[in-house]
């Protein structure tokens, strides 16, 4: 969805914005075998890493009957994730023992690796605007 401001002043903070619908922010906790109390503390970027990473690996196998976790368990596949602060925070009302790991950028790649049972390299890389490029380079040079 795109949003255009009515204010065409040069000092306007934003001329357009991209938004995510609330239903796109949910996580299918049972599918990832994540307890509900932990799922409620997982930051938006970690949710996207799980969904997009799982989807990419699922499409790579091209077999809807394959259980990805069972197929990938203990394989030497790495998770290289470029991340930076999203500005989304877990509400103070939802503070649990999982809040620290749910909001930490360093956990994003580890959450994907752990969920799928991967044992390869695991890097969460924050280099501001170059995060995805550095993650891709790190992945390419790791193997």
pLDDT at 14: 65
Q: Which CATH architecture has domain 29-142?
A: 3-Layer(aba) Sandwich (3.40)
31 pLDDT higher than 50: yes
Residue ranges of the domains in the chain? 29-142
Task: Give the pLDDT confidence of 68-104 residue by residue, as tens digits.
Answer: 888 889 999 999 999 988 776 655 556 788 888 888 8
Phi, psi at 5, each rounded to 5°: -75, 150
3-state SS of 27-51 is CCCCCCCCCHHHHCCCCHHHHHHHH
């Amino acid at each position: 969805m795109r949003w255009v401001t009515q204010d065409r002043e040069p000092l306007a903070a934003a001329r357009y914005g991209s938004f995510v619908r609330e239903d796109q922010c949910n996580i299918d906790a049972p599918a990832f075998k994540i307890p509900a109390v932990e799922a409620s503390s997982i930051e938006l970027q970690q949710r996207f890493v799980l969904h997009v990473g799982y989807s990419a690996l699922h499409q790579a196998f091209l077999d809807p009957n394959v259980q990805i976790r069972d197929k990938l368990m203990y394989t030497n596949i790495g998770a290289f994730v470029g991340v930076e602060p999203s500005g989304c925070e877990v509400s103070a009302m939802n503070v649990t023992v999982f809040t620290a790991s749910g909001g930490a950028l360093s956990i994003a790649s580890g959450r994907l690796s752990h969920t799928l049972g991967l044992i390869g390299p695991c890097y969460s890389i924050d280099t501001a605007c170059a995060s995805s490029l550095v993650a891709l380079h790190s992945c390419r040079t790791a193997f």
